[in-house]
Structure 1
Amino acid sequence: MLMGEYQNSIDSKGRIIVPAKFREQLEYKCVLTKGLDNCLYIYPMTEWAKFHEKLDKLPVSDPKARAFVRYFYASAVEGELDKQGRLTIPQSLRNYANIEKELVTIGVLNKIEIWSKQAYENAENGEMLDASEFAEQMESYGI
């Protein structure tokens, strides 16, 4: 399980240092792709394989299903961490997520999300629920 929030930055070569707690689970190889909410997703190879199986079962006759698969696969790239735990993020993905310098790396269940610091703060402020609303939402999800 991937969890936690880390503040870091991207260097001039487009590399980030993956937090040490995440490196072992990535086993130095991963898949990077566009995420939802203008962030990036980093999947360990085993989790990408599970995600792939689910996407592979979507009906090709459904235009929305095709668009969903295309969304994740068109931007997907295999990544490999170097000996210092750095991962290069392609320019196209940096542009998509508006990553320029400061970023936030968070573990979310089976994947890592990479956010520009500003986008993450904006999302956090926009999604804030008071305790009662939060409890109601959890209950509606059966949690």
Structure 2
Amino acid sequence: MLNLIGTYECKADIKGRVMIPAALKKQLASVSLNGFVIKRAVFQPCIELYPIEEWQQLMKKMGELNRFNRKNNDFIRRFSAGVKTVELDVTGRLLIPKDLFSFAGIEKEIVISSAINIVEIWDKNKYEQAINDAANDFADLAEEVMGDDSDVGNGIS
């Protein structure tokens, strides 16, 4: 499983191309030849970049959903809206499709942030706002999500 690390500030050019930072490009080297899937995020105004192998694992799970259940069908349609395949060019740039660029409200300065096995691409101001908005609630969220008493001694502090 891919485990990406890092948050990087970059700039997008007028055509929507972004130079992937060298440290992240190195982490993606083993999966970049197969390409990526880029899509709208579900919960935030950002874009998600999935290595194709990670995307295929997710699609396997989604393929198990009953398509004759209306909620499942609606979820699949909305989740896959705007999905596109992309590749890094020979110089290591990623071309962000215009509709996704607009969805994320990207202007010029962006933040590329690892999210375990995928990459989030944010407008810099929106990223900073999301981090600042969540700062006050993060301790409560951490306790709720990670604070299972059965994991005593797991080394996380």
- Whether TM exceeds 0.5 here: the answer is yes
1:30 pairs, out of 32, 36, 50, with 36
Structure 2 residue aligned with 1:82: 89
State how 1:123-134 maps to structure 2 within 5 Å.
Answer: 123-129=130-136, 132-134=139-141
Q: Which residue does the alignment assign to 1:5?
A: 7
Q: RMSD across aligned C-alpha pairs, in angstroms?
A: 2.1
Correspondent of 1:56 among 63, 69, 78? 63
Say which SS state the counterpart of residue 5 (structure 2) adopts. Answer: strand
TM-superposed CA distance for 1:66, in Å, is: 1.9
Paired residues of 1:40 and 1:115 also in contact (CA < 8 A): yes
Q: Select the structure of larger CA radius of gyration.
A: 2
Is 2:121 the counterpart of 1:114? yes
Looking at structure 1, the residues matched to 135 and 48 of structure 2 have their Cα atoms a distance apart, in angstroms, of 22
Q: Distance in 2 between matches of 1:49 and 1:33?
A: 14
**Matched letter for residue 16 of structure 1:** V
- Alignment CA distance shift 1:142-1:112 (3 Å): farther
Task: Name the SS of the counterpart of 1:54 in structure 2.
Answer: helix
Q: Tell me the SS of whatever aligns to 1:33.
A: strand
DSSP-derived class of the 1:122 partner: helix
CA contact (8 A) 2:111 2:121 kept: yes
2 CA distance for matches of 1:83 and 1:107? Answer: 22
Bigger proportion of residues as strand: 1
Q: Is the 8 A contact 2:6 2:24 kept in 1?
A: no
Unaligned 5+ runs, structure 2: 152-157
Following superposition, the deviation at residue 142 of structure 1 comes to: 7.0
Any idea what SS the aligned residue of 2:119 has? Answer: strand
In structure 2, relative to structure 1, the CA distance for the partners of 1:94 and 1:130 (3 Å cut) is closer
Closer/same/farther in 2, CA of residues 82 and 131 from structure 1, 3 Å limit: closer
CA contact (8 A) 1:8 1:17 kept: yes
Aligned length: 143
CA deviation vs aligned residue, 1:40-62 (integer Å, no higher than 9, x gap)? 00000110110111111112133
